[in-house]
Amino acid sequence: MTVFNLYIFDRNGNCLYYAEWNRRKQSGISQDEEFKLMFGLLFSIRSFVSRMSPTDQSEGFVSYKTNEYKLHFYETPSGLKFVVNTDLSVGNIHDVLQQLYSQVFVEYAIKNPAYSLGQPVTSELFKSKLDEFIRGQQFFTSKLS
């Protein structure tokens, strides 16, 4: 099991933070374009799921998978969006993404007096705590099969 990358977006689609661990292939486009494509994909999927669902969903869209990876999604009440791409063997990590928000993002980004809401997160402490959090998950491995 492995984690490929993580995106954190604000409600307006600005990428506040991006990290990679075991990403095997680059997109071939600029990072800014990749962020726009990812946010657009999330916007479209969330809209599609909410309109096409036969039942009223409390959580809405939480993940999808392709033949190569699984995308996990968590949105906070304030509109922050956390996206983690993993391999296919990783199950539901919705609770892990909630913990990532409350125990890492809130504690080491939001509560940092040097951080301005809506700006990219540049804190080295946040980066190290995030890396420690992700590497500490049972589904993280640094080796690819």
Among candidate residues 139, 45, 65, 57, the one with its CA nearest the CA of residue 97:
139
The pLDDT score that the predictor gives to residue 143 is 55
What is the model's pTM?
0.88
What percent of the chain is predicted at pLDDT more than 70?
92
Residue 104: band (very low, low, confident or very high) from pLDDT cuts 50, 70, 90 = very high
The pLDDT score that the predictor gives to residue 145 is 45
The pLDDT score that the predictor gives to residue 1 is 65
Q: Residues 6 or more apart from 89 whose CB is under 8 A from it?
A: 1, 139
The pLDDT score that the predictor gives to residue 27 is 79
The pLDDT score that the predictor gives to residue 50 is 77
Q: What is the pLDDT of residues 23-44, one digit of tens each?
A: 877 778 899 999 999 999 999 9
Q: What is the pLDDT of residues 120-139, one digit of tens each?
A: 999 999 999 999 999 998 88
Among candidate residues 1, 12, 3, the one with its CA nearest the CA of residue 97:
3
Q: What is the pLDDT of residues 46-84, one digit of tens each?
A: 888 877 776 666 667 888 899 999 999 999 999 999 999
